[in-house]
Amino acid sequence: MEMNVTFPKGKQVKASFEGFSVLTDQPRPEGDDAAPTPFNLFLASIGTCVGYFVLSYCEHHGVPSEKLRVTMHTDRNTSSHLVEDIIITVHVPQDFPEKYEAGVIRAAGSCLVKRHMEHPPKFSVNIIKTM
């Protein structure tokens, strides 16, 4: 995949890829607070990825998903400001079949974003001078 990153105005940064655009911004006073920060968007990618895998598991097994939801809580290190713990909770209704609970947990663990964090890729940064 190739992504094109541009700078529309102020501290806004836009990523365009595969026919989609994603806008990020910074909170006031540095930015306009017009969109999520890149880091919050990253965290949202974890939550939505987990949600997708949980939803898909339930749909595959014919388990109703209307009352299903996922919450995610993060704990940051006060010195480094880096997230040290991510706690994901899958909320199911009282009548959720117990025989599917372990499968839902496994499905949540299948999230590709989570798996990439557990086995991170190498990063390289290059500069190309253009006209």
- Tell me the pTM: 0.90
Helix (H) or strand (E) holding 4: strand 4-6
- Give pLDDT tens digits for 9-51: 999 999 999 999 999 999 999 999 999 999 999 999 999 999 9
- Please check whether residue 66 is in contact with residue 55, taking contact to mean a CB–CB distance below 8 angstroms: no
Q: Which domains does the chain have, with CATH numbers?
A: 37-118 (3.30.300.20)
Inter-CA distances, 112 with 96, 97, 127, Å = 25, 26, 29
- Give pLDDT tens digits for 40-52: 999 999 999 999 9
Among residues 47, 57, 46, 49, the alpha carbon closest in space to that of 96 is found at 57
Question: What integer best gives the mean pLDDT of the chain?
Answer: 97
User: Three-class SS of residue 130?
Assistant: coil
In terms of residues, how long is the chain? 131
pLDDT bucket at 131, cuts 50 / 70 / 90: confident
Structure tokens at 113: 């974003």
pLDDT at 118: 94
